[in-house]
Amino acid sequence: MKIGMIGTGNMGRILAEALIDGNAVSPSSMIVTNRTLMKAAELKKAYPGITVESSAVAVAEQADAIFVCVKPHDVYPLLQELKQSLTNDKCIISITSPISVDQLESTVTCSVARAIPSITNRALAGVSLITYGKRCSDEWKEQLNSLLHSISKPVEINPNITRVASDIVSCGPAFFSYLTQQFILAAVKKTEIDYETATKLTSEMLIGLGELLNREFYTLPTLQEKVCVKGGITGEGIKILESELGAIFEHLFEATHGKFEDDLNKTRDQFGID
């Protein structure tokens, strides 16, 4: 199977690298392009077997599964450009949350799916979110699930939770990276620890935390209970978190959903349907 990647920006490149490193596809079976061809050429330097094409049409003509890794407002004009090349035996996969599978199916006749990756997939870990179009064949569902399983835990989701699921899986690493950096900076500011040591200790702590959850030694609540001994130091820290965090995460989801609604309105105008 030939895999096409249209767009090799941050997430497009991460997805391409993960698929190759996860042995889901060989470099010689991957065809890529990007608006700025230099970015595609950089990917080829890392994986010389990759084919770089100068146009999206050339990728679509050669590939069986075509991943569309462009900005939401660029998807509709791109699909219009590719329509004649997307024969019914192909499958097109959008990785952007504001574009629904119904919108994709309203524009092309081949199988379609939406697969929202996460930066954690680069480590062949974490979740990828999948939604299949009504016309997506069983064969393509099986093949896409296999592809994504090589780099993640594919989870099929209902369209009505697309934004919040994406907030958790795709945006979550950035949110918790920010919180972690603030944790480190506060430690440096208030104590004698240096930044490098605080960063190393915190990073290793997070890796260990992930392993505890991955190996199912504890759930999040039981882990907190084990560390937070009654009357101990951890409990004093938890009190601060309880009093000062407030509704911060509720506000976060309100903000992401507000931006999502703006993006949805723009795609509605382009596609003519939700």
pLDDT by residue (tens digit) across 189-211? 999 999 999 999 999 999 999 99
Query: What values do phi and psi take at 116, rounded to 5?
Result: -95, 110
Domains of the chain with bracketed CATH = 3-164 (3.40.50.720), 165-252 (1.10.3730)
Query: Residue 135 has what pLDDT?
Result: 94
* d(C-alpha 263, C-alpha 241), whole Å: 33
SS (H, E, C) 191-246: CCCCHHHHHHHHHHHHHHHHHHHHCCCCCHHHHHHHHCCCCCHHHHHHHHHHHHHC
Type of residue found at 51: T
pLDDT in tens, 132-174: 999 999 999 999 999 999 999 999 999 999 999 999 999 999 9
Query: Residue 243 has what pLDDT?
Result: 95
Pair of tokens at residue 163: 């934004």
* d(C-alpha 224, C-alpha 196), whole Å: 26
pLDDT in tens, 57-81: 999 999 999 999 999 999 999 999 9
Residue 254 has pLDDT above 80, yes or no: yes
Query: Residue 7 has what pLDDT?
Result: 97
Query: Residue 182 has what pLDDT?
Result: 98
* d(C-alpha 62, C-alpha 233), whole Å: 61
* d(C-alpha 228, C-alpha 31), whole Å: 52
- pTM of the complete model: 0.92
Query: Residue 273 has what pLDDT?
Result: 84
With contact defined as beta carbons under 8 Å apart, do 59 and 27 qualify?
A: no
Looking at every residue in the chain, the average pLDDT score rounds to 96
* d(C-alpha 263, C-alpha 129), whole Å: 19
